[in-house]
Amino acid sequence: MRKNILRTLSIILAAVLLLCASLPVFAQSAKCACGTPPVIYVAALGSAKLYLDRGTENERLLFRPDTAAYLRLAARLAPSIARLAIDKNYDAFGDALIDGVSDIFGDLQMDENGDSTDRVTSDAELPDDPDHGVDKSYYFAYDFREDPLTVADKLHEYIACVKKLTGHDTVLLRASSMGGVMTMAYFYKYGTDGIDACIFQCCPIFGTQVAGDLFTKKITIDPDALVRYASQLPTDEQWQSDLLGVVLDMLNFAGVFKALVGVADKLLENLTDRVFDEFMYPVFGSMPGIWSFVTDDEYEQAKKMTFNENTSKKLISRLDEYHYNVQCKAGEILNKAKKDGVKIMIVAGYNKQRTPLVESYTANSDATVDTKYASVGATVADLNSALPDGYVQKNEAGVHDHLSKDGVIDASTCLMPENTWFIKDMLHCKIHDGHKAMYNWFFYSESQPDVWSNEKYPQFLQNDVNAKTLTPLGTQARPAQSERGSESTGKPLTPQTGSASFAAVIPLLFALPAGVVSRRRKRS
C-alpha cells in the first residue's frame, strides 16, 4: 500500500516537473495573433564590433577602430611626413604608412581559407526580446569579413530565433547595403519559406564598381570629385550646408584641391604597388565578404592580380560560389522569390558623388553603390549628365513609362522595373521618417505593391532631408509613354550638397560611408 502511494506521488511529482519545464517552451512558441510579422534589419558593413582576444586582459577593438587608434597612426606618420616634405623619401613614408595601418587593421586578416582566426570574434548575438511591432525591428549583425554563405547560416538561425520568440511563422526583412549580399546568400542557400517581404535598400546586389576598381588598381583622384564628395559632409542646418559649399568652392578656386591631388598623385605613383602588395591584397584580399562587392566585369582580373599559384583552392572556391551562384544569378534568385510569394522592393539612391579615388568616380551612385547595380540593371547616365536627347526606353515602350523626369534613368532595363524605386539625393542607406513611412506601406500591403500602386510613391522620388520627406520627382511617372526626347535636355545636373553623414570605415581606398551603419545596437 505504502509503495503504491509513493509510486503515485512520484508519478504526480514527475508530471508536475515536466509541465513546469515545458511552460516556457509553450509560452515562447505560442502563436501571436497581432497580424504584424516581426521586421529583421539585416544590417550593413560594420554592424558588429570585432575584437582581438575578447574577454581577456588583452582585449582590443579591431573594427571599427576608435579615435585613439587613428591619433596614434597620425603621430607615427608625422616624422615620415616631415621627412617626405624635405627629401621626398617615399620609401621611408611607405614603411611608416604600411606598418601603421597594419598595426590597426592587420589582425583582421583571415586565414588561408578565408576563415577568421580564433582570436578575432564579434559581439553579434541572438535576440531574447519577444516585443515586436510596426515601429520596431530586430538587428542582425555579422562579421563583414566572412563568407556570405557562412553568414547565411547565422541569419537562418537568427530568423528561426525571432519566429520562436514572437510566435510568428513569417518575418519581414529589410536588407541594408551589405545586408543585401547576406540576404541574397540566404535566399540562395535556404530559400524564402517564412519570408513575407523583403526590402533591398541601397544593396550591392550586382556589386559596386569601386571594389573592382580597387582590386585592379584603377586608382585616380579628381579635384572636382573631391569637392563634390566633401560637400556631402553632414550638417544640421541648411545654412551650414550652404556655407560649406561656398567654402569648398573658394578652396577649389584657389587651387587647394588641385595641390592636394598633385601630392596624392605622387604618392600613388610611388606607393600604389607597395600598399597593395604588402597590405591591401594580404589583408582585404583574404576576406570573402569584401570579394562579394566585386562586379562581374572585373572579378576574374581582380583574382588574377590578387592571388597566385599558392593561393588556397578552398578560398577561391568560396569566392567563386558566391560570385557565380549568387551575384551572377541574382535574377533567378529574386524572380523565384517573387514567384514564391515574397513581396520585393528594391530601393536605389542616385545623384551623389561616389568615392573619388577610382576611375569609376563619374558613375551615378548613392556615394557608395552604383545606381545601376543597386537597381539590378537600370540604364543610368553618369553623374551630372543625362541620357541622350531623343532617348527612348529600351523595354516596355508604349506600355509603361520607366524614364525619370530628369532624364537620368531608364528603369525599364531593371530586373524588376515594376518593383524598383529610385530616390534622388539619397545618401547610401541614410533614411528618415519619409523612408520609414514608405517602407511600412510596402511591408503591410496585402499584395505585392509596385511603382503604380500608390501615387505618393511612384518610381522616382526626391529626397528632402531637412523636411524628412520623399516626394514624387517632377510629375508622377505614368503608364503608356514611349518617347521622351523632348523632355530629356541632356544638360548637366547639379547634385544636392549637405545632408550626408559618412566617414571612412576601411582605411584609405576602402572608404565607405559610415552613415550606413547605425551605432544603436538596440532595436528601434
286 or 268, greater pLDDT:
286
Q: Is 462 helix (H, G, I), strand (E, B) or coil?
A: strand
For residue 326, the 8-state DSSP code is I
To which residue does cell 545632408 refer? 499
pLDDT above 90 (res 385): yes
Is residue 470 assigned to a domain?
yes
CA distance 36 to 39: 9
Is residue 160 assigned to a domain?
yes
Angle between the N-to-C axes of helices 223-230 and 256-275, in degrees from 0 to 180, rounded to the nearest 10 = 100
Q: What Rg do the C-alpha atoms of the chain give, in angstroms?
A: 26
Is residue 294 assigned to a domain?
yes
The number of angstroms, rounded, from the C-alpha of 253 to the middle of its chain's C-alpha atoms is 34
Is residue 353 assigned to a domain?
yes
CA distance 24 to 469: 44
Is residue 179 assigned to a domain?
yes
Predicted pLDDT at 253: 55
Per DSSP, the chain holds a count of helices (H) and strands (E) of: 16, 13
Residues 6+ apart with CB under 8 A from 220: 357, 358, 359, 361
Q: Name the grid cell of 269.
A: 605613383
Domain span at residue 145? Answer: 34-49+123-524
Is residue 345 assigned to a domain?
yes
Supply the mean pLDDT for the chain. Answer: 83
The pTM score is 0.83
Q: Domain total for the chain?
A: 1
Q: What is the pLDDT of residues 58-77, one digit of tens each?
A: 989 998 888 888 888 888 88
Closest-CA residue to 427 (of 143, 116, 177) = 177
Q: Name the grid cell of 119.
A: 582570436
Predicted pLDDT at 230: 78
Angle between the N-to-C axes of helices 67-87 and 90-105, in degrees from 0 to 180, rounded to the nearest 10 = 170
pLDDT above 80 (res 252): no
Angle between the N-to-C axes of helices 256-275 and 90-105, in degrees from 0 to 180, rounded to the nearest 10 = 70
Q: Which residues of 238-249 are buried (b: 16+ CB within 10 A; e: fewer)?
A: eeebeebbeebe
The arithmetic mean of pLDDT across residues 306-323, rounded, is: 95
Q: Name the grid cell of 246.
A: 561656398
Q: What is the pLDDT of residues 117-161, one digit of tens each?
A: 999 999 999 999 999 988 899 999 999 999 999 999 999 999 999
Is residue 362 assigned to a domain?
yes
Per DSSP (E only), the strands in 429-496 are 460-464, 469-472
Q: What are the backbone dihedrals phi and psi of residue 512, each rounded to the nearest 5 degrees, phi first?
A: -120, 140
Closest-CA residue to 418 (of 466, 454, 365, 372) = 454
Query: Percentage of the chain with pLDDT > 70?
Result: 79
Q: How many residues appear in the chain? A: 524
Predicted pLDDT at 321: 98
> DSSP H helical segments within 254-345, as ranges?
256-275, 281-284, 288-291, 296-306, 313-322, 330-339
CA distance 318 to 172: 28
